[in-house]
Amino acid sequence: MKKARAMGRSCVIVTNGRTAQQEAKIRNVGLDRLVHAWVISEVVGQKKPAPGIFQAAARAVGLPLRGSWVIGDSPHADIGGADALGLQSVWVSNRQTWAKDTYRPTHIAAHASSAINYVI
């Protein structure tokens, strides 16, 4: 993520869950120092794949949603949400096989780091 930031990319975490739990996770692994913002479903009142949570992420960094990429490991919540909004996406497969027929990610990556490198 440091490389993405250095290249001028805005990085926002979009996550479903309870605020206290998700913020603790973000801080405990040091992501709070690497991303520009995070959006948690409990705060927004919508869960992925609802469009509103992705729109809140764009607002959090003051950028339009159009042209954004979604990187995620959930076919339904992340890639399905991106597809519904017409956004490009990278599915972090963790070496699993894509099984959905109704939509597909723009790219498939084995790990988060390779997904980020693809986008930047």
Entry pTM: 0.92
Q: Provide the pLDDT confidence category of residue 48 given band limits of 50, 70 and 90.
A: very high
Domain 2-119, second-level architecture: 3-Layer(aba) Sandwich (3.40)
Domain range list for the chain:
2-119
DSSP-based three-state secondary structure for 71: strand
Whole-Å CA distances, 87 to 95, 96, 109: 23, 22, 17
Give 76-104 pLDDT, tens digit per residue: 999 999 999 999 999 999 989 999 999 99
